[in-house]
Amino acid sequence: MNTPLAESLSVVLLVAVLTWAVLRPFGRPEAVVAVPAAGAAIAAGAISLDHARQEAERLGPVVGFLAAVLVLAHFCDIEGLFTACGAWMARRAAGSPGRLLAAVFVLASAITAVLSLDATVVLLTPVVFATATRMGVAATPHSYASAHLSNTASLLLPVSNLTNLLAFAASGLSFTRFAALMALPWLAAIGAEYLVFRRFFDRELTRAAPSPGPADAPGLPVFALVTVACTLAGFVVTSALGVEPAWAALAGALVLACRALVRRQATPLTVVRAASPAFLAFVLALGIVVRAVVDNGLAGALRHVLPSGTGLAALLGIAVLAAVLANLINNLPAVLVLLPLTAAAGPGAVLAVLLGVNIGPNLTYAGSLATLLWRRIAHRHEHEVGLGEFTRLGLLTVPAALGSAVLALWASLQVVGG
C-alpha cells in the first residue's frame, strides 16, 4: 500500500476504534471494532505482519499482568474490602462533607496505587455514592474525586495503570526504583488536586450535614489485605531477581480466586470474566492499530515537536505534549505513540510522558477509558455529570497537578538519579 493511502487508512481505523470505545453503542465491548480494525490494518498492508507480531509480543506480558490485577481487585471486592472501605469513610467523616472528601482522597489514592485505577472506578465509586447518600451530603465533590484520582493517583507503581505497565517496560527501571522516582510526583499531584477540590467545592464541603444514622461496621478482610501485601512484596522480589512481576500478580490473583472457588463464592467462569478478556483483546488490537499510525507518519511528525533532553523545561514540554495528545486520542494510544520516541532519552523522559498521560485525561471525558467508565457508573446512580463543571474543574486541576508533578519528578531525578 502506498504511504498516503496507508496513513489515511490507519488514521480512519484509529478514529473508528476510539469512537466506538467512547460511545460503546448498545453496551457492546470495545473489542467489537478494535479487533476487526487491527485485522483490516494487517490485511490492507497498513502495518506489516512482522510489526503486528512485534507489537503483540511487546504488549503480551503487559496484558497478562493487567488480567491478573483485574482478577485480584475483583476478589478483593468479594472478600468485602470495599464494603469495609465505605464503613471506614463514614466513620472518619463523622457527618462532615470536608472530612469525607479527605477520606475519599486517602482511600482512592491507596486503592488506585495498589489495585489499579479500575478498582477505584468500578468498585470504590459505587461505595462513595452510597456513603454520601447515607450521610445526606452532596455526592458531586466525592464522586469527582474518585474519577480524578483514578487517573492522577495512578502514578506511583507500575501496577497502578496500564499506561504505567507500558512505561515500566520501556524505562528499564526496577520496580523499587520506579516507585522511588514517582513517589514525590505522586504526592505532589494528589496534594495539588486536593487543594483545588477544597476551593472549587467550598460551598458543598462547608454545608452542614444531617446527623448520620448508625452505620454497619463490617469486619476487616484480613485475608485479602495480607494477600495484597504479599503480592506487593512479590513485585519487589521478582523485579530484583529479574523475573516478570506478572508472576507475583498471578500468584496473588490465584490465591484469592481459589479461596472464592473453594467457598463457592465464584465459579471458573466468574474468574474468566473478572479478567475482562474482551478488554484485553481491545488493548492488543488497539496497540496494533496505533503501531500502524506510527509507522505511517505520526512518529515523524511528533519528533519535530517533542522536546529533547531531561532538563526541567524538556520534562515539562514532554508532559504537556503527552497531556494534549491524551485528550485528543485517549491516553492509551498516546502512551503507545510516545514511548518509542522517548525511551532512548532515558527514564526521565519516559516518566514525563507518564505524568502527561495520567494527569492530563482529567481535562476531558475522552481523555481516558477510566473516566468514560466512571461517567457510566455515575449515570447508573442517577447522578448527572455536567460537562461544563467537569471541564472547569479539569482546567484548574490539570495545570496545577501536572506542573507540581513535573517539578517533583525533576527533583527526584536529581536525588535518585535516572
**Per residue of the chain (418 residues), what is the pLDDT tens digit?**
657 788 889 989 989 988 888 777 887 888 999 999 999 999 999 999 999 999 898 888 888 888 898 899 889 989 998 888 888 898 888 889 999 999 999 999 999 999 888 889 888 999 999 888 888 888 999 999 999 999 999 999 998 998 998 899 899 999 999 999 999 999 999 999 999 999 999 988 987 666 555 556 677 899 999 999 999 899 888 888 888 888 998 999 999 999 999 999 999 999 999 998 998 999 899 889 988 988 887 777 888 888 988 899 999 999 999 999 999 888 888 898 899 899 989 999 999 999 999 999 999 877 887 887 788 788 777 777 777 898 999 999 999 999 999 999 999 999 987 6
Cα–Cα distance, 91 to 89 (Å, whole number): 5
- Domain span holding position 227: 3-415
Q: Looking at the 3D structure of the chain, how many domains does it have? A: 1
Place of cell 502495518: 47
Note whether 297 and 7 are within 8 A (CB).
yes
All three cell numbers of 330, joined, read 485517549
CA angle, 224 as apex, 219 and 229 as ends, to 5°? 125
Burial of 130 from C-beta contacts in 10 A (0-12 / 13-18 / 19+): middle
Q: Distance of CA 413 to CAs 154, 182, 239, 350, Å?
A: 19, 10, 20, 12
First to last CA, the chain: 41
Name the amino acid, one letter, at 58.
R
CA angle, 115 as apex, 112 and 120 as ends, to 5°? 45
